[in-house]
């Protein structure tokens, strides 16, 4: 009986630790998109997660390890959102629906819950190798997802178009967030969307 009680306590502690770890990663994934990698500190993350600074090291060996997990979570959330958009679209409209949602005013405003590539821009190039590997994998997977919407998927032209689409949509959103003129911001998104849909193949 004692052995069963010890096991259940141990299991409960492990579950609690897992839930806490998940909460920290979730907070950090929003924080890096909102404030950038350099603007995301351990103390702020732990405070937002409702935990003490000292509890951090029970979950991560370093700040870099937390940032890598946060980047992975942000990329996974972005990929899941894209998959939902394409799955819910009418036949033949998956890419157009995805692009319209990506370049929408709603996505423009939702920095901390949106695409980590547009939110973090050139900062990723200055991060640890693990963070860059995660971003690279996400870019490749998104390019493949876009290419799969083409009627000539599997051919070099579809892959090349998908790379151009990816670069254009991320760049347009990044610039639309950077400028301080709403009309220019709208124009950048609208022009990119029109061009990408017209050249979707």
Residue 2 has pLDDT above 70, yes or no: no
| CATH at 21 | 1.10.357.10
Which residue carries 């709403």 as its tokens? 182
Under a CB-based contact definition with an 8 Å cutoff, are residues 78 and 115 in contact? Answer: yes
Residue 148 DSSP one-character state: T
Decide: 112 and 31 in contact? Cβ < 8 Å: yes
Only one residue has tokens 């907070």, namely 27
pLDDT above 80: residue 14: no
Domain count, the chain: 1
Q: Kindly report, residue by residue over 147-183, the tens digit of the pLDDT.
A: 998 888 889 999 999 999 999 999 999 999 999 999 9
Residue 201: the pLDDT is 65
Q: Are 136 and 68 in contact (CB under 8 A)?
A: no
pLDDT for position 9: 65
Rounded CA-CA distance 141/146 in Å is 9
- What percent of the chain is predicted at pLDDT more than 70? 94
Q: Rg (Cα) of the chain, in Å, rounded?
A: 20
Is residue 141 over pLDDT 90?
Answer: yes
Q: How confident is the model at residue 3 (pLDDT cuts 50, 70, 90)?
A: low
The residue segments making up the domain with residue 15 are 2-198
Average pLDDT (129-136) is 95
Task: Quote the pTM value.
Answer: 0.86
CB 27 within 8 A of CB 112: no
Amino acid 83: pLDDT: 87
Give yes or no for a contact between 114 and 78, defined as CB atoms under 8 angstroms apart.
yes
Lowest mean pLDDT among 6-15, 63-72, 126-135, 188-197: 6-15
pLDDT, tens digit, for every residue of 92-111? 889 999 999 999 999 999 99
């Amino acid at each position: 009986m004692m052995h069963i009680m010890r096991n259940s306590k141990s299991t409960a502690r492990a579950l609690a630790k897992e839930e806490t770890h998940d909460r920290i990663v979730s907070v950090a994934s929003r924080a890096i998109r909102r404030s950038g990698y350099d603007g995301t500190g351990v103390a702020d993350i732990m405070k937002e997660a409702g935990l003490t600074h000292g509890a951090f090291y029970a979950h991560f060996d370093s700040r870099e390890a937390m940032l890598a997990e946060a980047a992975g979570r942000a990329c996974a959330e972005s990929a899941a959102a894209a998959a939902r958009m394409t799955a819910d679209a009418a036949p033949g409209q998956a890419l157009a629906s995805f692009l319209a949602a990506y370049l929408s005013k709603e996505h423009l405003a939702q920095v901390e819950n949106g695409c980590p590539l547009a939110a973090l821009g050139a900062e990723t190039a200055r991060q640890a190798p693990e963070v860059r590997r995660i971003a690279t994998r996400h870019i490749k997977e998104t390019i493949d997802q876009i290419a799969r919407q083409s009627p000539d998927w599997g051919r070099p032209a579809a892959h090349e178009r998908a790379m151009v689409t990816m670069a254009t949509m991320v760049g347009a959103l990044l610039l639309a967030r950077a400028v301080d003129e709403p009309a220019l911001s709208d124009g950048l998104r609208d022009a990119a969307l029109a061009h990408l849909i017209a050249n979707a193949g």
